[in-house]
Amino acid sequence: MVAAFLAVPSMSMAEDGVKLSPEQATSLGVRVVHPVASPTDKTLPYPAQIVVPTPQLWVVSAPVAGMVTNLSVARGDRVIAGQPLATMESQGFVSQQRDYLHAVAQEVLVTQQLNRNTQLFQGNAVAQRVLEASQAEARQASIVVAERRQMLRLSGLSDETISRLTNEAAISAALTVAAPRPATVIDIAVSPGQRMEQSAPLIKIAQLSPLWVEIAIPASNIKAIRQGARVEVDGYETAGQVVLVSETTDPATQTVLVRAEVPNSGDLRPGQTAAARISFASKRENAWELPYSALFRRGEQASVFVATQDGFRLVPVTLLEEDQDHVVVSGPITNKDEVAASGISALRGILLKLGAG
């Protein structure tokens, strides 16, 4: 190649341009192609993973320590708010009900005492400090009742069930664990007959629409991706949009996480893999497809050699997408331009040699 350079005395450079005759270009193996308009303005398909958004994932835990006696749902079932998921038997639950009823009874006693002391105080039969002591005891009793009631709510009892317990004093060892909201059961971590500690996970439920599509984009291509860009999952009609472009790069794979949110009509399933295409950042700019060999890089700047009347000029472009065979770029080129697709090493060598001179 060096011999070829020396055999072409009329070559020169000006403003990133190489002056070459057609014969000289042919002798250096330079072949040109016309840019092809990218009809979709979307990336090539990237492998993607369908996952449940973390805000739509809930773990139903054991409200008390006890034994699971029954499961009312199975993996994949859809449930509504308040629907029974499991039944437990718990000595601790019995103690909670007993403590609540004891607090209610104590509140009744101190309230009655307060009423008597109030009447006696109005008749000057007791001192004011006796009335104030009764008032303090009544407030304390109300606080204890509220605390015990809240403990029962945390165990899954509704206000209606707590009122029935208050009126009937019917203590039960069985506790029903219910779904907190409409969702789909995606995992069951317990079996009937198993003893569980308080707060141990029982059942995992999730809302399955929308879903996240997580895509690993090569760091070299990430400049073309912006938040809000349209995302299409191959084989799925409904499009989504990019909600996150990670600010970090995976050091092992040199990829950047791009997360899209896609409405789910039931065709997408968490855990499945798919292929996703992302629209480029700006659809106002034309996108052009060229052979990978046409791309010339200097640092982070990508350029192409465009044929001129006197030779070739180096035109900076924005790299939108690349694979092993093709690149998609945007920039001041058209489909009427002739872009060098081979002989780039020779043109590059001339450019660097003359630039150094």
Q: So what's the pLDDT on residue 66?
A: 95
Q: Are 38 and 288 within 8 A, CB to CB?
A: yes
Name the residue among 194, 198, 203, 250 with its Cα closest to residue 222.
250
| Cα–Cα distance for residue pair 156/90, rounded to 1 Å | 13
Supply 306's token pair. 């465009």
In tens digits, what is the pLDDT along the chain, a chain of 357 residues? 434 443 443 444 445 788 888 899 899 999 999 998 875 566 768 899 999 999 999 999 999 999 999 999 999 999 999 999 999 999 999 999 999 999 999 999 999 999 999 999 998 888 999 999 999 999 999 999 999 999 999 998 989 999 999 999 999 999 999 999 999 999 999 999 999 999 999 999 999 999 999 999 888 778 778 888 889 998 898 999 999 999 999 999 999 999 999 999 889 999 999 999 888 655 556 788 899 999 998 888 899 999 999 899 999 998 877 777 888 888 899 999 999 999 998 888 888 775 444
| Cα–Cα distance for residue pair 56/267, rounded to 1 Å | 18
| Cα–Cα distance for residue pair 65/91, rounded to 1 Å | 8
In which residue are the tokens 């601790």 written?
92
pTM of this prediction exceeds 0.85:
no
3-state secondary structure the chain: CHHHHHCCCCCCECCCEEECCHHHHHHCCCEEECCEECCCCECCCEEEEEECCHHHEEEEECCCCEEEEEECCCCCCEECCCCEEEEEECHHHHHHHHHHHHHHHHHHHHHHHHHHHHHHHHCCCCCHHHHHHHHHHHHHHHHHHHHHHHHHHHCCCCHHHHHHHHHHCCCCCEEEEECCCCEEEEEECCCCCCEECCCCEEEEEECCCCEEEEEEEEHHHHHHCCCCCEEEECCCCCCEEEEEECCCCECCCCEEEEEEEECCCCCCCCCCEEEEEEECCCCCCCCEEEEHHHCEEECCEEEEEEECCCEEEEEEEEEEEECCCEEEEECCCCCCCCEEEECHHHHHHHHHHHHHC
Tell whether omega for the bond before 210 is within 30 degrees of 0, i.e. cis.
yes
| Cα–Cα distance for residue pair 335/34, rounded to 1 Å | 6
| Cα–Cα distance for residue pair 298/249, rounded to 1 Å | 22
Q: So what's the pLDDT on residue 16?
A: 75
| Cα–Cα distance for residue pair 172/168, rounded to 1 Å | 11
